[in-house]
Each structure stands twice: as structure tokens, then as C-alpha cells.
Structure 1
Amino acid sequence: MLVATMRNHLVELVLLLLPVAITTAVAAVAAAAASKPNGNINLNSTLTARENSSYWLSPSGDFAFGFIPLPSNPFLFLLAVYYANLSSSPTIILIPFRNQTFSLNSSVVLTADGQLSLRDPSGAEVWNPSVQNAAYAAMLDSGNFVLASSDGTYLWESFSSPVDTILPTQSLLPDSKLIAKLADDDFDEGRFEIIMQGDGGLYFYSIAVPTGFLYSQYWDTNTNISNSRLFFNSTGRIDVVSATGEVISTLTTAVTKSTADFYHRGTIDPDGVFRHYVHQKPSTDGTAGEWKVMDFKPADICRALMTNVGSGVCGFNSYCGYDYSGMVACQCPEGYSWVDPKRTYKGCKPDFAMPSCNDGAQNVGFKMVAVSNLDFPLDDYDQFNPVNEDDCAQLCLNDCFCVASISDGVGNCWKKKFPLSNGVKGAYVRRTAFLKVGKNDTLPSYPPTAS
């Protein structure tokens, strides 16, 4: 009897508390949803640069907005949009405030009045996108970071301010550009840019660092329909399209890799090549992927880019070629070495004292070294014809201004002065370069001495 009575009281208690528990659970879910509805970031939210920095994540977890440390210095940070769930180091898509790094305890704040404010450790503002009265921010699954009004209208979006990369569903609008970074681990504005011009043409340029002065155009789409834009189609194709959406020209394509299963990005790389990359999305079986190049333009930048001003694809006194994977690989010629091995765009320096122009000393201490299939086009200061290869080398050796001469093997000889530019090497280069180097160098001289 007593047991039955206790059981009845227990049932009554459970029935009494059940509505309260359900109400509490529903309230908790509602509160959680209210704190981050659809992945939105509320006003008065803050991110701080520190060893384990926090970030704002897209609903799928594919993309994040926050501070990430520099690859070369874990105590300096970039504010960036990046791929959040790749096992390798983060691949950066956008840096809102480029050419500046931030130290520990820098912050980005979505203020109470709806401004996005990037601040240094002292709290002083260093950048904002000039937007007020945003109701919330959001890191979207497209990779677009937005500031939005209460009705969902975008007041500012990262897709409208690309750096060196575009993503599926993103456009490069008329009079907008992509600028390559200086090096894989140097995110400052680099030596190449792509411009979607108002006349409808998409143009690739080499540019001066740090002013951005345009050197030479080295590739274009040969299109001229005004107000066209570059559009990254969700099928995995990057097209120049008209204002009405008509495809005018295809830049790159990777439609065999579904955007549902692969990340796609189009990036103007530090070597001036625009590459269409894909990366398999993380799988439940733990398979690790890597970025793979599916398409690129131009097809051969070593041949495509020749400039009258600037160094060319590679730095001064170096030459352009390709590694085993087809990526651009700059090299120093015989008798030269890198100014900075980690920054090869700075070019190469001679490993010998430069020639003197004192009478009778022009060729003292120097010899000529022959290198087949190497040329430094343009920038000649003298030309001879007819001249055989031996005389071509000797003419440079006897000239204190000459650092190299080029022979085409059929009577033409060109003299080059310092620094050398537009260097290119390959089987298709049907010329021989004669380089003037110090006699103490271990390289064999030209012509070879008789044994």
C-alpha cells in the first residue's frame, strides 16, 4: 500500500514538472537561436588577436572571419576570411585591410551602433568599411562576409572588395581588380594584377611595387562589351559575362569537380598566373585533400610576359622556367645568387665585382660563360651582324658596360647591360647567352681552353 502511494506521488510530481522542463528547454533553444540566429553575429560582439584567437564561423563551418597568425611570425596577425576546416594551414580568401599586420590584443568589434571597427591593442581604430547602422554581421556559407540591415539588405560585403581571389557566385565588377600578393607568405600587394575594365576587357598587368604603376599587359580576353563582369558560376566555371548574363568568354573551367563536393577558388598567384583551384571537402572517412590546379591563364607566362620596364616574370638578373609540376620556377644564372632566397622576386646579384671602365682593364679578371637556351629579350643597348658566337662573346668581354651577350647562332649578336630583365630559359629558346663572370669563379670559361 505504502509503495503504491509513493509511486502515485512520484507520477504526479513528474507530470507536474514536465511542462516546466519542456518550457525551460524550449526557452534555452530559443535563447541560443536568438544569440546567433542563422549564424548571424550580434551587435557588441568582439574578436581579439591572441594565441588561440576566436572567430566568426559560417553555418556550415566551411568559412571563418577572424585573426590568423602570419606563417612567418605567430605574434603578428591578419584579419581575414579563410577556409576554416582544412587540415593544412588556412587558405586566406580576403584580407579587408591589406598591407598591415596586427599585434597581440588587436581587435575587431561590431559596435552597438552597427559599425565594424578594426582596432590596434590601444583601442585606436585603424580601419572600418564606412558602414553604420548595421543590424548584424554574418559569415555566409558562400565565403561572403556581410554587414546587413534589419531587413537583410547588405550594407557592405567582402565579395565587393576582393583581394586576390574570387569564389563561386562572386563577380569581379567593371573597374574592379585582383592584385596578387608578393609571395606565398607575404600578403602585401604584389607585382601582378587583373583588371575588369569598363570597356568589357579583362586584362592582366605586371605592376610596380609599391605604387601599382602599370608596366605591361601580358594577357587579355579580347572582349569589348561594355559593363561586362567576371563571374564565377556555381557550376565551377569562370566567365566574362555581359550585363544581361550572356557568356562572352570563358576564363577557366573545372566543371568536372562539383562545387557540392569540392571547394573552388580562382586566385591571381604571386607569379602572375591566374589559377583555378579545387580542394575536396572534408569527408567522414578522414581523407585529406590538397589544392589542385584545374585550369590557368596565361598558358605560358614565361613567354607571354615581356616588358620594356620592370624585371619581367622573375626578378632582375634571374630567368623564368617551370618545375616538375608546371609551376613557375625562377632561377639565378651561372655566377649569380639570390638577393634573398626567401624573396626570389627581388632577383639575383652577381657573385663578383662589377667590371671597371678604366683604360686597359675592361676585361681584366673576367671570363665569359656560355648557357644554351637562355635569353634576356628586349633591353638591348647594341646589336651586331654578321657575328659568330666566339666574336659575340668577345665583344661583351671587351666592353665594360656589357654583362651578357646573346647570339642567335645565325649571325645576330645583342649586348645586354646591368641589370638583366625578362629572363627566360627553355628548349624553345634558340639562343645562347654569354655571361660575364669573375675569373675566380669555378664555372668553365668560354670558349673552352684547349687541353
Structure 2
Amino acid sequence: MLLSIFSKLMATSVFLLFLPLIFFSSSSSSTFDRSSRASSLSVEHADDVLTSRNGIFSAGFFPVGDNAYCFAVWFSEPDSEGNRTIVWMANRDQPVNGRKSELSVLKSGNVIITDAGRFTVWSTDTVSESPVFLKLDENGNLILQNSEGVLWQSFDSPTDTLLPQQLLTKDMKLVSSRSQWNFSSGFYKLYFGDDNVLHLQYGGPHISIYWPNPWLMSWEAGRSTYNSSRIAFLDPLGYFSSSDNFNFTSADYGERVQRRLKLDYDGNIRLYSRNHRMEKWTVSWQAMSEPCMIHGSCGPNSICSHVPHLGRKCSCLQGFKIRDRTDWSLGCVPEFNLTCTTNETGFLKLSHVEFFGYDYGFFPNYTVERCENQCLHTCECKGFQFKFVKHNYANNIPYCYPKTELLNGHHSPNFEGDLYLKVPKKTLPFQETGLDCPSIVVKQINRTYTKNPENASQKFVVRFAIVFGAVELGVIFVVGCCFLRAHQNSSAGTHNYYRMATGFRKFTLSELKKATRGFSEEIGRGGGGVVYKGVLSDHRIAAIKRLNDASDQGEADVEILFEVALKCVAEDKDARPTMKEVVEMLLRQENDSELV
């Protein structure tokens, strides 16, 4: 099928040779689709472009940086420089100056690009005795031809894009750009390997193949190695077919839309399509559904993790720091010096983390401890991968993969394996030592316990004690109040009795305090007390003696009541006073509180 398609394409190319050749000079037209012998396109003239007959594609000098230009082919719409969709570049790795640089079609039949110093930076390396013409075909193919046929075409030397009707053969490869805005050659390639299988390869500082899945055999990935034709083709309807038995159809298969298959700078190959020239491109197919499975995403000593709707994220391993914050492909460098001394080195376990490749061997049926010992005694070992591998003839077998380099790292919950990172012991996190519990099955013994019946007499005694205590406290409070009131009444009666019988009046402590202005003017002192000068309510001057054992009657009453109450509620029952003792305390206080 692919060979018949190729034959049709060649027949179409031969047919184009017989089309009338018309000469357009740059002075007579701002855009043209052919250039004759000895003609040129200048970088200084923005209108010096080739346009396909259907107007879909254009070719000319495209700015790739500050005063840097490459000759390229792009979709004509949108026509603004910042939004142009590039499909091919001639001198992507050697841009020319923005002045005096040009593309020239020589009389010798060669096409060259020269810079301001007239130095040739790119050429088709073709020779022709007859006149040659440069033509931009309607499918985006830039063709150099003479009367005998095609001398050179851009479809034979693609950059990062495959267009419909363009073949990818064993001598061709797609090479990604360095970044979204850096169009120079990047690290990723799509090509046919010597095994006749179409591969995606990371070609940075360390080369590795990541598509199809390197863990799988070719036949397990649905690929065939028997067809040595090594040819792949994308048709205009969105169907891709390869000689290694790989094929796919786009999500919008069958629609007549613009399409392009591109190896993006992130290492993923995607099919883009759009209905109208001014619409944005949409992804209708992609090779890698897990971006972190693409090798070289984050560089050495780093881990790639994918967050839905946010994309992939790079992070350094513990104990490492990023080399260049503007370029994650350079990875991370260690912040420690790893020695070959085994007693100073340990391992940090990273679950569900995989670092692919760069093993100095693989060892089946190894335990983790045995693998650690293997890595400890190998100075070049940076860590080891430990995982179980399925086998048809046996149960899952543990495999140990010691690593000399930590590249292509990614974290995935679906990966059933662990990485053990080799680090100095002093950098390991502190771990508490747990108990080693034996794996013994504990059998529960069914036991029933009989509850002793409550003793009725004990229950009665407890309740009686509580009630009696409450009644006792109530009686003490009532008796105290009665004594206090009786004391107040008796004091007033006693005062009246003394006044009638002796003619003398008995004063209270508060009255004496008022008369002496708080016992402030001392006029004498004796063994029994101190004599103060005072003025009575009838303005008579009196000498008032304050006895040493006298006290404030009101304050004393309150103090004795509190003292009696506290003793009655003491925690020790034996320390509580009897009713007789309570009465004696109150009477004693009454006799001691009076002041003559």
C-alpha cells in the first residue's frame, strides 16, 4: 500500500515538470511561486517570499532571534510573525544576519544561503546543466527542479514536522526544536532504527530510546521487525501508517482539514489539525499520554511528576540542587561528597520512583539487603532500582538494578517499584526504632465475669451518712445564726441594764473608734493596754483605754462563724466538733468580744 502511494506521489512530481515555467522577478511582484536562474530572495525585503499556488504555504526568511533569521516554510495564515506555524527550516542551527543575507539560485543549479560576509551557511549541493527553478508546492514541499526532474526537495530533509503526503523513510528523521522559541535542533528524534522499528529517542548528553516502551519487546509493543522497507506516511484524512505495523487515526479522521505531525520540543509527537486557516491548532493524537515517561524531561538526579491540568513538574532528589534554573534539562548536582566508605553510606528509599537505564547489571532473586551490599561495595553505584518482574513460567521475581547514573527519573503511583538512593548516613532522616513484634496469631479467650451483688446494708449506711451529714450542716448553720442574733440583742440589753444600775454607759468598739478618730492620739500606755484621747457624742472629752486582748466585735463574730463552719465540714470525720463543742465555742467568743 505504502509503495503504491509513493509511486503516485512520484508520478505527480513528474507531471509537475511539464507545467509551463514562468519567470517572476522580485521587482515585478511582491510574492511569487517560482524563481529563475540567478535570482535571489533578500532578508531585508519582507515581501521577498514564495507562496504556494493555493496560498496555504509561504517560504522566506523568518526571524528566530535578535537580528537572526532562518529560511523557512510556514502556513500563510495567520500572517503575523509571532503566530506563524513553521513546518520546515533550512539553516535552523546557523541563523544569518538581518542585513545583506540572502537565498540565491545560482546558474550552476545550486541554491545557497549566504550571510552578510558572503559566507555560505546552507546549500542544496545540486548541479544542473539546464536551467533550474525553485517552487513551493501546494502541499508545502519546497522543490528545486530542472527540465529533467526534481533535483532537491524539502520533504527529503524534514526538520520537526511531517505534512500529509510526506514520506518518512529510513534515511530521514524528525528532530525537535530546542525549546518553544528556540528553533535550533533539540534533543529528541523520530526515526527508523536498525531493527526496522520507528523509535523516539532522547539524544541529549545521554542517549536513550523511550518509545515504544523500552521495558517491552518489539512484539509486545505491537511492532514488527521483519519489514525492512522502513517507510511511514500520513494521509490528508488523518491516518498514519508505518512499515513496522504501527498505525493510528486522528480523533477527527475523515475530515478535510489542515494537518501536521510534529515532534515537539518536549519530546512528544503530536498530530495537530484545524478547520480554518485562522483557527488555533488542536491536538487530535499524541504518542505519549504520560509526559514524565519521556526521557530527559528533567535532567540528571531529578524526578519528573505529572499533575493533571498543570503539566509535568521537575524536582531535585533529596540532597541535590538544581544546576541551572533556566534549563531543567541540565538536571541537579549533589550537595554532598559521596565516599566509598561503606560504614559512612546509607540508602534513602523513594517509593514508586523509577530511573530508567544506566544499569551496570541486573540481578534476579536478590533481596533488598543483598542489593544494598552490592551497591555499597561498588564505588560507581549511585543507587539501585528494586522491583518485581512478572514471568510466565514463575511467580513475580525480585530484580535488583544498580545504577551508575540517575537519569530519566519519574514518579508514578502506578509504578510498582522503589529506588534506593545512595547518600551519606549523616544526611538520612532520623527514624525511630520500632518494636519487633513476632508474627504470632493471638487467640482470643472467651471469659465471663460474675458481678458481685450489691450489699443492701452497705448501701443503706452510705445513704444514711450522706443524709445525716447534710442535716448536721443545716443545724450548725441555724444555731450559728441564732447565737449571732441573740448576741446582738443581749449586747443592747446589757448596755441598758448597766446604764440604769450604775449610771455608766457601755460603748461599742465602733463608737470608740469614732470618738478617738481611729485610736490616733495616744496619751498613755500601761500593762493592760494603751490610753487614747477621745471626744464623745455630747462633746465631752474622755480618756479611753484599749485593752490588749480586745477585738472588733463584728469581725470576731464573722471569724468565729467561719472557723466553726470549716471545722464542721472537715474531710476527716474525727476532726469535726460535736454539737456541744460548737456551743461552747460560740459562748466563749461572746464573752471575749465585749470591750469595756
TM-score using structure 1 length: 0.69
Are 1:111 and 2:95 matched, yes or no?
A: no
**Which structure carries more relative contact order (alpha carbon 8 Å, separation 6+)?**
1
Q: CA deviation at 1:348?
A: 2.1
Aligned equivalent of 1:426, options 408, 412, 416: 412
The answer to which of 326-335 and 312-321 deviates more is 326-335
1:315 maps to: 299
Instruction: Specify whether residues 401 and 36 from structure 1 end up closer, same or farther in structure 2 by C-alpha distance, changes over 3 A only.
Output: closer
Aligned equivalent of 2:353, options 374, 387, 390: 374
Matched residue count: 388
2:76 maps to: 84
Q: CA deviation at 1:343?
A: 3.0
Q: CA deviation at 1:96?
A: 2.2
Residues 253 and 276 in structure 1, CA contact (< 8 A), matched pair in contact too? no
1:140 maps to: 137
Residues 237 and 256 in structure 2, CA contact (< 8 A), matched pair in contact too? no
CA distance in 1, matches of 2:432, 2:252: 54
Residues 94 and 165 in structure 1, CA contact (< 8 A), matched pair in contact too? yes
CA distance in 1, matches of 2:248, 2:267: 15
Q: CA deviation at 1:145?
A: 0.9
Structure 2 letter corresponding to 1:79 = F
Q: CA RMSD, aligned part only?
A: 4.4
Q: CA deviation at 1:250?
A: 5.0
1:120 maps to: 115
The answer to which of 337-346 and 51-60 deviates more is 51-60
CA distance in 2, matches of 1:439, 1:148: 69
Aligned equivalent of 2:331, options 347, 371, 375: 347
Mapping for residues 106-255 of structure 1, pairs under 5 Å:
106-112=101-107, 114-131=109-126, 132=128, 133-150=130-147, 153-196=149-192, 201-206=196-201, 208-209=203-204, 215-216=208-209, 218-219=211-212, 221-222=223-224, 224-227=226-229, 229-240=231-242, 249-254=245-250
Q: CA deviation at 1:63?
A: 2.0
Structure 1 letter corresponding to 2:117 = S
Residue by residue over 1:395-420, the C-alpha shift from the partner in whole angstroms, topping out at 9 and shown as x without a partner, is 98999766445555999695855631
The answer to which of 188-197 and 230-239 deviates more is 188-197
Are 1:297 and 2:297 matched, yes or no?
A: no
1:57 maps to: 51
Unaligned runs of 5+ in 2: 1-23, 213-217, 389-395, 435-596
Aligned equivalent of 1:39, options 33, 39, 44: 33
Instruction: Specify whether residues 327 and 193 from structure 1 end up closer, same or farther in structure 2 by C-alpha distance, changes over 3 A only.
Output: farther
Q: CA deviation at 1:239?
A: 1.3
Instruction: Specify whether residues 369 and 279 from structure 1 end up closer, same or farther in structure 2 by C-alpha distance, changes over 3 A only.
Output: farther
CA distance in 1, matches of 2:321, 2:76: 38
The answer to which of 158-167 and 87-96 deviates more is 87-96
Other structure's SS at 1:375 match: strand
Instruction: Specify whether residues 39 and 381 from structure 1 end up closer, same or farther in structure 2 by C-alpha distance, changes over 3 A only.
Output: closer
Residues 203 and 217 in structure 1, CA contact (< 8 A), matched pair in contact too? no
Higher fraction of helix: 2
The answer to which of 177-186 and 34-43 deviates more is 34-43
Residues 200 and 209 in structure 2, CA contact (< 8 A), matched pair in contact too? yes
Q: CA deviation at 1:36?
A: 8.5
Higher fraction of strand: 1
Q: CA deviation at 1:281?
A: 2.7
Residues 392 and 413 in structure 1, CA contact (< 8 A), matched pair in contact too? no
Other structure's SS at 1:159 match: helix
Q: CA deviation at 1:312?
A: 5.8
Residues 63 and 84 in structure 1, CA contact (< 8 A), matched pair in contact too? yes
Larger radius of gyration: 2
Mapping for residues 321-336 of structure 1, pairs under 5 Å:
321-325=305-309, 330-336=314-320
CA distance in 2, matches of 1:439, 1:178: 46
Q: CA deviation at 1:319?
A: 3.2
Unaligned runs of 5+ in 1: 1-29, 242-247, 306-310
Residues 392 and 406 in structure 1, CA contact (< 8 A), matched pair in contact too? no
1:25 maps to: none
Are 1:67 and 2:46 matched, yes or no?
A: no
Residue by residue over 1:275-327, the C-alpha shift from the partner in whole angstroms, topping out at 9 and shown as x without a partner, is 212234335xxxx41x3222223555755x7xxxxx76652222344343596
Instruction: Specify whether residues 407 and 123 from structure 1 end up closer, same or farther in structure 2 by C-alpha distance, changes over 3 A only.
Output: closer
Instruction: Specify whether residues 58 and 440 from structure 1 end up closer, same or farther in structure 2 by C-alpha distance, changes over 3 A only.
Output: farther
Other structure's SS at 2:329 match: helix
Residues 189 and 203 in structure 2, CA contact (< 8 A), matched pair in contact too? no
CA distance in 2, matches of 1:150, 1:378: 53
Residue by residue over 1:363-395, the C-alpha shift from the partner in whole angstroms, topping out at 9 and shown as x without a partner, is 5xxx8655332122454569795447xx98899
Instruction: Specify whether residues 41 and 281 from structure 1 end up closer, same or farther in structure 2 by C-alpha distance, changes over 3 A only.
Output: farther
Structure 1 letter corresponding to 2:354 = D
Residues 169 and 232 in structure 1, CA contact (< 8 A), matched pair in contact too? yes
Q: CA deviation at 1:227?
A: 2.8
Other structure's SS at 1:183 match: coil
CA distance in 2, matches of 1:435, 1:228: 41
Residues 40 and 103 in structure 2, CA contact (< 8 A), matched pair in contact too? yes
Residues 30 and 48 in structure 2, CA contact (< 8 A), matched pair in contact too? no
Aligned equivalent of 1:94, options 88, 93, 98: 88
Q: CA deviation at 1:157?
A: 1.1
TM-score using structure 2 length: 0.54
Structure 2 letter corresponding to 1:172 = L
CA distance in 1, matches of 2:89, 2:31: 25
Q: CA deviation at 1:81?
A: 1.6
Instruction: Specify whether residues 65 and 359 from structure 1 end up closer, same or farther in structure 2 by C-alpha distance, changes over 3 A only.
Output: same
2:555 maps to: none
Structure 2 letter corresponding to 1:119 = T
